[in-house]
A = this chain, B = another copy of it.
Amino acid sequence: MKYALPIIAINYKAYSQAFGSKALEIAKAAEKVHRETGATIIIAPPFTELFRLKQAVEIPVFAQHADPIDPGAHTGYIPLEAIKEVGVDGVILNHSEHKLITTHLYKLIKKAKQLGLITLVCADEPEIGASIAVFNPDMIAVEPPELIGTGIPVSKAKPEVVTNSVSLIRKINDKVTILTGAGITTGDDVAAAIKLGTAGVLVASAVMKAKDPYKVILDMATKGLEALNR
């Protein structure tokens, strides 16, 4: 995996804006910012929107989750093969709103690699990021869940969580791309995250609930680029 920095991954979650025409509008805004700045903008819509949005934009599209099953007699579950089939590029795993048991996480990371899907694995504490680094995913995003959706950015409120994550993860794995998240609202928060040693951020409500998502994403990409070039 080689994504240009900074990386801004947008988790659509199941917000009402995550579906239908609004979902498409945000995807188009993300694509526009990518074209204008060169920053990597990843979108992660719900399962039901993956096909439609992957057809519509030329930026990386990730699933928000995959179930730890192989294709077969499973009703209402989505294996990695299902998301591969609709053309997505990667998958978020172990989000703090959809955590996995360790064995399932390991097996999903291993199978995603075989299928050519990029993995972005969430960790809610630095030590958990280090533990997951043993499984060698492509990206780890450390997100203290108590800050998610609060607008209090981890990169400012708990910079030690970010620096500690980078330090613990690097002891185990020197290749994995490290992101952070939780409370990231503005371009300044992204710049702060990058100065603390990460490659970018995982965001959700700040973009999804924005009056003008394009403006928010553009600010994040621009300030992120500035921080990298300093």
Contacts and interface: CB of A to CB of B under 8 A. Distances in A.
Interface string A130-171: 111011000000000000110000000000000000000000
Interface in A6-30: 11, 13-16, 18-20
A16 B134 contact: no
| Copies per complex of this chain | 4
A79 interface: yes
Given A76-B95, A101-B101, A19 B131 contact: no
Contact of A46 (B15, B78, B98): B78
A18 B149 CA distance: 35
A15 B72 contact: yes
A102 B48 contact: no
Interface in A56-81: 63-65, 69, 71-79, 81
B97 A99 contact: no
Contacts of A207: none
B125 A134 contact: no
Interface stretch (A35-43, A82-90, A185-193): A82-90
Interface residues of A, number: 62
A218 B142 CA distance: 48
A97 B78 contact: no
Nearest to A65: B76
Nearest to A52: B51
Contacts of A210: none
Contact of A128 (B14, B100, B102): B102
B74 A97 contact: yes
A103 interface: yes
Interface in A102-145: 102-106, 123-125, 127-128, 130-132, 134-135
A172 interface: yes
25 contacts: A13-B73, A13-B74, A13-B75, A14-B73, A14-B75, A14-B78, A18-B71, A19-B71, A19-B85, A49-B82, A64-B76, A73-B148, A73-B149, A75-B96, A75-B97, A77-B98, A96-B103, A99-B103, A99-B104, A101-B101, A101-B102, A102-B105, A102-B131, A106-B127, A130-B134
The 3 closest A-B pairs by CB, nearest first: A65-B76, A47-B47, A64-B76
